[in-house]
């Protein structure tokens, strides 16, 4: 049955040739203009899932619907892909010995004014006269992205777009991807393994584990309340408070009985001005640039506490409290 939703993934699955499941019965919906980031360890099925959404991999079960139309797989079409959906893989290619202007001209479906805005958003106006083999990795990435966008897609799927980029080019690409949604009004889905790439950008997170969805929800909710250690670890540092830890009531008053609790380092602080806390000894001070991570041994466990300023030393006795 067709769907009237912007994007609906309904029970899709994909098996390996050897019989194991790459993707297992995955279902989710994505409203138009909502930014979705897909995260998971290597081999968790992220790329295969996106390829099935794009019509570039054939599901063994289930269906994908885009704007009410079922997305057909490569076994059903002579030329794989689906109208209105663009997919950029990690292994993109550009025609060599052509100028950037020539590469984009051959694919252009936009009016001149719209194309000019796209080039501005992708920050490539100054590259038009250069040949593709004269570009840096980050510049090639933006050209490949512009080549897809110039076909006027409604849905853009990016598979690890920040991999192998230095911090400068990564920062430029992050701005480009943000502006693709804000200025070009194209719904975007990103695969990335780095929480610093996806947390500031995504409205929604979808976490894959062994081919299935481990957790899905608003980015802040998934980060602050991960369902397990796997999800917590993908998105940053975390502490696990054992279920029967004697100081549980002080650091996790809302804990469910007999269940361990996951707490982020920034949810803890050092108790000051007589505020009650759990006593501990600072074992390690890690300078992280704009903050410090303190490794504190307390009550038989090691906790990581994140602070903006550090006026203590290793081996000092401190008190840890919940913010």
Q: What was the pLDDT predicted at 36?
A: 98
DSSP string, 157-180: EEESTTTT--HHHHHHHHHHHHHH
> What does the pLDDT look like over 166-184, one tens digit per residue?
899 999 999 999 999 999 9
Percent of the chain exceeding pLDDT 90 equals: 78
Instruction: Say if residue 66 is exposed, middle or buried (CB neighbours under 10 Å; 0-12, 13-18, 19+).
Output: buried
> What does the pLDDT look like over 223-239, one tens digit per residue?
999 999 999 999 999 99
> What does the pLDDT look like over 296-320, one tens digit per residue?
999 899 999 999 999 999 999 999 9
> What is the signed CA dihedral for 265, 267, 268, 274, rounded to 10 degrees?
160
User: Any idea which residue has 């949604």 for tokens?
Assistant: 181
Q: What mean pLDDT, rounded, does the chain reach?
A: 92
pLDDT-derived band of residue 248, with 50, 70 and 90 as boundaries? confident
Q: What was the pLDDT predicted at 17?
A: 74
Question: Which has more pLDDT, 32 or 276?
Answer: 32
Return d(Cα 56, Cα 54) in angstroms, integer. Answer: 5
Q: What was the pLDDT predicted at 178?
A: 95
Q: What was the pLDDT predicted at 183?
A: 93
pLDDT-derived band of residue 19, with 50, 70 and 90 as boundaries? low
Q: What was the pLDDT predicted at 275?
A: 75
254, pLDDT greater than 80: no
For residues 29-48, give the mean pLDDT.
96
112: three-class secondary structure by DSSP: helix
Architecture of the domain whose range is 237-322: Beta Barrel (2.40)
20, pLDDT greater than 80: no
- β-pair type (268-270, 239-241): unpaired
pLDDT-derived band of residue 85, with 50, 70 and 90 as boundaries? very high
pLDDT-derived band of residue 2, with 50, 70 and 90 as boundaries? low
Q: What was the pLDDT predicted at 23?
A: 96
Percent of the chain exceeding pLDDT 70 equals: 98
DSSP character at residue 194: -
Q: What was the pLDDT predicted at 215?
A: 98
- What token pair was written down for 263? 């707490």
253, pLDDT greater than 90: no
For residues 134-157, give the mean pLDDT.
92
DSSP string, 214-240: EEEEEHHHHHHS-SSHHHHHHTS--EE
> What does the pLDDT look like over 257-290, one tens digit per residue?
778 999 999 999 999 876 789 999 999 999 999 9
DSSP string, 241-262: E-TT-TTHHHH-TTPPTT--EE
Residue among 106, 142, 149, 107 at smallest CA distance from 127? 142
Domain boundaries, the chain: 7-224, 237-322
255, pLDDT greater than 80: no
- CATH number of the domain located at residue range(s) 7-224 in this protein: 3.40.50.300
């Amino acid at each position: 049955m067709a769907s009237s939703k912007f994007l609906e993934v309904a029970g899709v699955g994909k098996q390996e040739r050897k019989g194991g499941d790459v993707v297992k019965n995955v279902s989710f919906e994505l409203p138009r203009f909502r930014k979705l980031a897909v995260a998971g360890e290597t081999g968790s099925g992220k790329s295969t899932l996106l390829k099935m959404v794009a019509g570039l991999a054939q599901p063994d079960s289930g269906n994908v619907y885009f704007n009410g139309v079922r997305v057909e797989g490569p076994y059903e079409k002579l030329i794989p892909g689906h109208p209105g959906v663009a997919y950029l893989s990690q292994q993109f290619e550009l025609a060599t010995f052509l100028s950037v202007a020539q590469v984009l001209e051959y694919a252009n479906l936009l009016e001149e004014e719209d194309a000019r805005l796209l080039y501005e958003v992708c920050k490539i106006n100054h590259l038009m006269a250069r040949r593709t083999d004269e570009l840096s990795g980050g510049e090639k990435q933006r050209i490949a992205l512009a080549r897809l966008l110039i076909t006027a897609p409604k849905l853009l799927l990016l598979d690890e777009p920040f991999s192998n980029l230095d911090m400068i080019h990564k920062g430029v690409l992050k701005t480009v991807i943000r502006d693709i949604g804000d200025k070009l009004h194209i719904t975007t889905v990103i695969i990335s393994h780095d929480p610093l790439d996806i947390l500031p950008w995504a409205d929604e997170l979808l976490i894959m584990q062994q081919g299935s969805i481990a957790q899905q929800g608003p980015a802040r909710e998934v980060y602050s309340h991960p369902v397990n250690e796997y999800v917590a670890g993908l998105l940053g540092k975390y502490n696990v408070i054992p279920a029967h830890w004697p100081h549980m009531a002080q650091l996790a008053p809302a804990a469910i009985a007999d269940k361990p609790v996951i707490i982020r380092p920034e949810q803890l602080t050092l108790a000051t001005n007589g505020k009650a806390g759990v006593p501990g000894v600072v074992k390690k001070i890690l300078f992280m640039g704009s903050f410090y991570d303190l490794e504190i041994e307390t009550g038989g466990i090691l906790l990581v506490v994140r602070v903006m300023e550090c006026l203590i030393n290793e081996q000092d006795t401190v008190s840890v409290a919940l913010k």
